[in-house]
Structure 1
Amino acid sequence: MKKIVCFLLLFLSFLLFPFLPVNDGTQVASLSEESPETVSPHYPLVIDTYDANGTPVQTTFQRAPQRIIVDEVNALETLLILGQGERIVGAALSTSGVSYARLQREYPEEFAKVEPVIQNSIGREQAVALQPDFILAWKASFTPRWYGNTAWWQERGVNTYVIATANHVLKDATVEDECKFIDDMGRIFDRKAQTDALLRDIRAELHVDEATMRGREQQTVLVVEVGEGDILNYDEGWVVGDMVRRLGGRIPLTSKYIGEEELISCDPDVIFVTYNDAYGKTFAENFFRAVRFNSLRAVQNDRIHFVPVEYVYTPAFKILDGIRAIRRGLYPDE
């Protein structure tokens, strides 16, 4: 009997060896072993990001992350483009939208490497079980309902990165802020050549666009998302607002939500309507076909444009698609 007990104790100690205890009893995996692929003179690396309260903080990376939890489509796509699929142990996003299907279609090999933990949300207990060393997410995800506080993870040796252009972490987000996210991902994963090429394309396109639009009459624009209730308004404090401004437009309304009467009273030259999936697009199209909107100039001139939300909200590698969609809507004859 004693031999059996000793054997069981030895077996349990072997199982628990990879884990480091923390002061509240929660276990987070130790990731001290370093492979030749992740040891690089590029590290250690200090990145400026934000905590769960939206306060600026710095995070130090001793190497490229090996076990990643990631939130939302565009952040996941960024990692797939940078070749990090096999390091993703959890991805929290809707699997019913057109964006999810697009990722599977456009990145089949890299997407296949992602461990099958794709769902709408990941709670803290499940996140702990996934043994991450890096969590890339929106500020809204670092709440008690989901991952918990960023400080809780940092104390346990798990780096976190809050995407600043989501959830109004930044009061006035710009294209440059989105470029910083792209650059940070290139630095964190030591893929600067890829991200630098995209950043050059973004800045070159904006330079050409701004030069072309200079001196033209400013157009009024609304970027909205419609649903069963009020209309969500993307004002100039969002990245898409900066795109509109750089391309010669102006978003006159500043409220987060607007009603139908306010939309009709504003009567913008152009309306961009975002959607998440096929149902959302159909709903939005039918919404603006209603007779009550017939007086709108955008309706009369066929200047209502439907764009995937991933083009305009924390767009990351989709930012060029967003810029081009806004430009086409503002200047359809060019």
Structure 2
Amino acid sequence: MHRRLAATALACTLAGLPAAAVADIRITDDAGREVVLPRPAQRIVSLAPHVTELLFAAGAAPRVVGVVSYSDFPDAARQLPKVGGYASVDLEAVVALRPDLVIAWKSGNRNTHLDRLTALGIPVFINEPRRLDDVAGSLRSLGRLAGTDEVAERAASAFAARRDALRNRYAERPKVRMLYQIWNQPLMTVNGEHLISDVIRLCGGDNVFAGLPQLAPTIGVEAVLAANPEVVVASGMGEARPEWLEQWKRWPALTANAANNLYFIPPELVQRHTPRILDGAQRLCEQLEEARAKRPPR
């Protein structure tokens, strides 16, 4: 009898507590802000294509109710309601979906949009992977927010295992000085803090513009010629090798041109902060290994 009364009293006490006292999810996002949810999110809006892909990989697909343009992987993401683009979010469309969580991209979304959503009382979690470790961490964080921890942990562990296998095979190979070219007009690359530079390091590469202060700096042709990379890897807009990669053939003295080390990787495989970045890493590692094989014997 006393045990039943004690159990009843405990149940009543817990029932009288605010939900946050028993069920809060507290997690720090990539902007250093604590995000608090009373329970796993049931209606999530993604404000970046890579966030959409991460949510699907973390097992949260049934919770995603809205995405931005170019959220095209996996195929099921294409069918979800659109709320504008990552740089031009339609706030009314977001609010109309009644989200209990918005996942944003620090480098891509406008602060004014995120501040407005926060002012409306919608929890906003900011994602910004800068290292390959952060991709696994993003999967775990999104899984926790959506209540899909087990699926997310499996995805994160598989990602880490594949990353480690590539690192063990390529990271200590002879260094290859390279340029990763995002675009041609303006001519853009990445610095050493960008996630793509972590992929370059994974493959034993050396980003010749790692020391620049901007995350995705604009540079000049003269700077490239002065740096004289052994390899140039371009992205572009889709699956096709960009025509502008051939511009480097105008400079015969450029080492990358002289050695025929002008390569291409589809941007969605290396410019999205998702598990597929290791598909891009695999290609880059193989390209750098091919460049090493072309070196004259010493």
TM-score (norm 2): 0.76
Separation in structure 1 between the aligned mates of residue 23 and residue 237 of structure 2, nearest angstrom: 38
Please, which of 248, 260, 275 is the counterpart of residue 221 of structure 2? 260
> What CA deviation, in whole Å up to 9, does each residue of 1:52-84 have, x standing for no partner?
xx4x11111222222222122221122234454
Separation in structure 1 between the aligned mates of residue 251 and residue 151 of structure 2, nearest angstrom: 45
Q: Give 1:195's aligned amino acid.
A: A
- 1:71 paired to 2:47: yes
Q: Give 2:225's aligned amino acid.
A: I
In the superposition, relative to structure 1, how do residues 216 and 128 fare at CA in structure 2: closer, same or farther (>3 Å)? Answer: closer
Q: Give 2:45's aligned amino acid.
A: I
Query: What's 2:56 paired with?
Result: 80
SS of structure 1 residue aligned to 2:155? helix
The alpha-carbon deviation at position 85 of structure 1 amounts to: 4.0
Query: What's 1:32 paired with?
Result: none
Please, which of 121, 127, 149 is the counterpart of residue 94 of structure 2? 127
Q: Give 1:117's aligned amino acid.
A: K
Separation in structure 1 between the aligned mates of residue 56 and residue 165 of structure 2, nearest angstrom: 29
Long gaps (5+) in structure 1:
1-38, 166-172
**Paired-residue identity, %:** 20
Please, which of 231, 256, 278 is the counterpart of residue 320 of structure 1? 278
The alpha-carbon deviation at position 251 of structure 1 amounts to: 0.9
Query: What's 2:7 paired with?
Result: none
- Shift >6 Å, 4+ stretches: none
> What CA deviation, in whole Å up to 9, does each residue of 1:121-180 have, x standing for no partner?
323333223322111111242433xx241xx53454421111123xxxxxxx21112221
Are the equivalent residues in 1 in contact too, given 2:179–2:231 (CA < 8 A)?
yes
Are the equivalent residues in 2 in contact too, given 1:223–1:234 (CA < 8 A)?
yes
SS of structure 2 residue aligned to 1:264? helix
Please, which of 128, 145, 165 is the counterpart of residue 164 of structure 1? 128
CA RMSD of aligned residues (A): 2.9
Are the equivalent residues in 2 in contact too, given 1:70–1:91 (CA < 8 A)?
yes
Are the equivalent residues in 2 in contact too, given 1:174–1:239 (CA < 8 A)?
yes
Query: What's 2:163 paired with?
Result: 206
Separation in structure 2 between the aligned mates of residue 83 and residue 292 of structure 1, nearest angstrom: 48
Q: Give 2:196's aligned amino acid.
A: V
Are the equivalent residues in 1 in contact too, given 2:230–2:255 (CA < 8 A)?
yes
Query: What's 1:107 paired with?
Result: 75
Q: Comparing 124-133 with 244-253, which one deviates more in the overlay?
A: 124-133
- 1:117 paired to 2:82: yes
Long gaps (5+) in structure 2:
1-18, 294-298
The alpha-carbon deviation at position 239 of structure 1 amounts to: 1.0
Please, which of 168, 179, 200 is the counterpart of residue 222 of structure 1? 179
SS of structure 2 residue aligned to 1:317? coil
- 1:297 paired to 2:258: no
Q: Give 1:125's aligned amino acid.
A: E
SS of structure 2 residue aligned to 1:316? coil
Separation in structure 2 between the aligned mates of residue 197 and residue 272 of structure 1, nearest angstrom: 32
Are the equivalent residues in 2 in contact too, given 1:234–1:240 (CA < 8 A)?
yes
Are the equivalent residues in 2 in contact too, given 1:311–1:318 (CA < 8 A)?
yes
> What CA deviation, in whole Å up to 9, does each residue of 1:269-326 have, x standing for no partner?
2222122335xx45x3334245423332223333222223233334222232132122
Are the equivalent residues in 2 in contact too, given 1:124–1:148 (CA < 8 A)?
no
Query: What's 2:296 paired with?
Result: none
> What CA deviation, in whole Å up to 9, does each residue of 1:217-261 have, x standing for no partner?
2111211112322x1111211111112113211112133121112
Query: What's 1:153 paired with?
Result: 117
Please, which of 132, 137, 146 is the counterpart of residue 175 of structure 1? 132
Q: Provide the aligned length of Structure 1 versus Structure 2.
A: 264
SS of structure 1 residue aligned to 2:260? coil
Query: What's 1:307 paired with?
Result: 265
